[in-house]
Amino acid sequence: MTLAVSPQWRAALLARANQLPLRPRLPLLWQQHVIGSVEADFFDPLISHQPKLARDLLQLVHSGSDSHWRLLGHATPALQALADALRDLGAGRVRQHWRNEQLAVCDAQGQRIASVERGVVRPLGMDTRAVHLVGCSSDGRFWVQQRSLDKANEPGLWDTLMGGMVAAQDSLESALARETWEEAGLPMDALTELRRGGEVVLRKPSSDGADAGYVVEWVDWYRCTVPDGVQPLNQDGEVLQFALLEVPDLIKRLQRDEFTTEAALILLCALDGA
């Protein structure tokens, strides 16, 4: 499909999806694995208020001109203790984003080595995985959702039919099925022509720059056909409304930046491949 998409908008979107941190960050390692990054002074409140805990959990290592933080002990319990302490201190808005949900902690090769509370992954600059579903009608229109106005991140912006993070216990397939039901009320057997579309990667400061966070997210996206007469219906209260858009209308809304960055990237890929 030939798209009437402005080259300037496309370039700006790609730039928004691949940004440097607002401030320099130090790598965070467990054993030999890089598991995240933090701003240089991020752990100062923890060191000041709980010095023994900080010594038990963290070590600042200097190697030549480079420095990094090293997480000590067994990875998952150490991360849980660190997350609890950061929540109690209110560091990096951890308390506000606390979800009692564990996400996988992976090394640079994508190997899962631990799990961690979702509320600390952005301040600790950890890689996360997400899954999105692009849903089309049989005549080529696109189903999209508007995020609820009380969402913690990007409230009111438009999104793909479904988008959610992959929890520690999930495979991509189980996350896809669970999130599609929770967000759109659609069982997978109600959809047709389901197939993997591809992967996009976001690297950017958190949407609220005040929380010293950094997003590194790998997003696997799928596409499907929502059969005629099948209507998405939100189950978890996180969607304000659904809409079925003609392609020209979708492109106009994309270029008005009405969509989240990841949704815009995914929908652009879907349109390019249509």
| pLDDT band (50, 70, 90) for residue 119 | very high
Closest of 154, 129, 134, 152 to residue 144, by C-alpha: 134
Q: pLDDT tens-digit profile of 56-76?
A: 999 999 988 899 999 999 999
Residue 255 near residue 6 (C-beta atoms within 8 A): yes
Q: pLDDT tens-digit profile of 230-242?
A: 999 999 999 999 9
Compute the residue count for the chain. 274
**Looking at the predicted structure, is the pLDDT value of residue 108 above 80?**
no
Q: pLDDT tens-digit profile of 181-218?
A: 999 999 999 999 999 999 999 999 986 555 679 999 99
**Nearby residues of 6 by Cβ (< 8 Å), 6 or more positions away:** 255
| pLDDT band (50, 70, 90) for residue 118 | very high
Q: pTM above 0.85?
A: yes
**Nearby residues of 9 by Cβ (< 8 Å), 6 or more positions away:** 254, 255
pLDDT at 274: 64
* One fold for 7-18+129-272 and 25-127: no
Specify whether the backbone of 252 is left (phi greater than 0), alpha (psi in -120 to 50) or beta: alpha
The kind and range of the H/E element at 270 are helix 261-272
Here the tokens at position 17 are 């999806």
Closest of 86, 213, 243, 234 to residue 153, by C-alpha: 213
CB atoms within 10 A of CB 238: 17
Quote the CA–CA distance of 168 and 166 in Å, as a whole number: 7
| pLDDT band (50, 70, 90) for residue 99 | confident
**Looking at the predicted structure, is the pLDDT value of residue 167 above 80?**
yes
Q: What are phi and psi of 257, to 5 degrees?
A: 60, 40
Here the tokens at position 73 are 């002990």
Rg (CA), the chain: 20
Closest of 73, 165, 81, 172 to residue 127, by C-alpha: 165
3-class secondary structure, 113: strand
pLDDT at 152: 78
Quote the CA–CA distance of 181 and 203 in Å, as a whole number: 28
Mean pLDDT of 150-155: 86
Here the tokens at position 59 are 């070590």
Cα dihedral 10, 11, 14, 19 in deg (nearest 10)? -150
The owner of tokens 């492109």 is 251
Question: In the chain, what percentage of residues exceed pLDDT 90?
Answer: 84
The fold of 25-127 is Transcription Regulator spoIIAA (3.30.750)
State the average pLDDT for the chain.
93
Mean pLDDT of 108-115: 86
Quote the CA–CA distance of 51 and 216 in Å, as a whole number: 29
pLDDT at 29: 96
DSSP code per residue over 166-187: -BTT--HHHHHHHHHHHHH---
Quote the CA–CA distance of 197 and 220 in Å, as a whole number: 8
Q: How far is CA 30 from CA 107, 140, 251, in A?
A: 9, 47, 44
Q: pLDDT tens-digit profile of 84-96?
A: 999 999 877 788 7
CATH classification (class only), 7-18+129-272: alpha beta
Q: What are phi and psi of 236, to 5 degrees?
A: -110, 5
